[in-house]
A and B are shown apart, each in its own frame.
Chain A
């Protein structure tokens, strides 16, 4: 009886703490969205908890602003993140399959090597990377943001763990007996089996690349190639006090809200995927 009462007490406390934390997580985004619907004049008057009516006007102002080509930035970000997610998951799956299904001399060495660089920060090679890209003539282009994601150790590790648990070698052998080539076996048999793992990692690498700021900021110079995080940084660097505040909130909204919407649709898979992925990006 006593312990039941204590449990009830604890349950109430747990719920209160959870509500407070959830409030903290959502509060800032709530203000953001509300402010994005209000005009500059409204915003000067002070804070209001209710949305205003200038949503479309702010949106139009952002779309027409030549100094911060937000929509062009979103397009660039979509290209970079989409391509990175695609090639990162495909080649990680390929590498994982290569190390899982075949026996060769350097197998152990290769695996150990990838595990050793699993969490190596990209920043430590940034200087050489910048020089290399400049020498290769890819400075100020989107390609150097996409191609290096072929080698993503953490995605590889995830794919490898998944293969270990879900691909019986007998399946591969059966397809060999049926006269399937090795590449065909991978594309037609192994890839469909890995679909759940690929979906989870595609989401995470997409988000990682969408939010990436350090490397793009070093490489991209011209306005029409900027991705969203660089545009946000440029906005911060500008003399923003003279700007239309409604427009600024709208720009931040445009940078943040698409990911939130996608997340809400896929949250079930994403939450399940966090513990699968294990390694933070």
Chain B
């Protein structure tokens, strides 16, 4: 009887401690989400200073989005993400395997880690602005290439589809490959040395070890990195927005979904912005589900073990 009363009195504190989180979430995320979903069914926009609506139109916004360029922008987002992600995961795997291989005796390992992680912390918008000035037709990159005699005419990087997309991809690659390398390295270091030694005794070379041991063993964290990167890619905004000044130029080939959302929000087209948000919400909800499954199954990226290590 006594213990029961005690547990009840402590339970109260549990609720009090988690209250701020849930109140803040309810006000700043849940209400906005409900509002967003509600207005996605309304015709509600501003033309000039006149506000039109809100008039209920059912699924009209969703339909007209499908007929608009939304799918094309989704394709752009996918392409821009892939251009950055493929080299990112490739290089990260290679570097992680090298860092984890004690036989290679990498000198200055800490220095390299610090340097490759550096771009991840840079303000994406300032980084994009920097690339815009460096790669402009009279910018330093063209200047260097011309003075080296590699070019006769300056390249108009931002004028071509290929150039713009490559620049966005390059920036995303530079910003994320260090992070991925360090995550994958932690995973590889977590593999028991015994397995590698056994494989060596059986005559495996380093390439075979990589394919038959390292890759299968770090598959959970690879999948986690992939899903997280897709979620990040879906949110891609800062870099292409600043690089192309929100235009997605040339000819909106580097316009991403969030840039599209941003332009609707800026022009106060709440109905369309709402419907687009709901589409994004559904896609990211599915992705969230995968992350949820992974983080709850077996702690794939070893955060608990790592936290223990940090304590020492």
Contact = CB atoms under 8 A, between A and B. Distances in A.
A121 B121 contact: no
Nearest to A92: B21
B270 A131 contact: yes
A209 B20 CA distance: 20
Interface string B259-270: 001100110001
B277 A126 contact: yes
A213 B288 contact: no
Interface in B212-242: 228-229, 231-232, 234-235, 237-238, 241-242
Contact of A128 (B11, B34, B231): B34
A278 B145 CA distance: 40
Contacts of A118: 288, 291-292, 295
Contacts of B140: 31, 35, 47
A116 interface: yes
B132 A236 contact: yes
B74 to A, nearest CB: 14
Interface residues of A, number: 106
Interface of A: 7, 10-11, 14-15, 17-18, 21-22, 24-26, 28-29, 31-32, 35, 46-47, 91-92, 94-95, 97-99, 101-107, 110, 114-132, 144, 147-148, 150-151, 156-158, 161-162, 164-166, 182, 186, 196-197, 207, 210-211, 213-214, 217-218, 228-229, 232-233, 235-237, 245, 248-249, 252, 255-256, 259-260, 263-264, 267-268, 270-272, 274-280
29 contacts: A7-B104, A11-B104, A15-B107, A25-B118, A97-B17, A110-B18, A116-B289, A119-B288, A119-B291, A124-B277, A126-B273, A127-B32, A128-B33, A128-B36, A131-B35, A132-B27, A144-B28, A148-B24, A161-B307, A213-B123, A213-B241, A232-B126, A255-B125, A264-B114, A271-B114, A274-B183, A275-B183, A278-B303, A280-B179
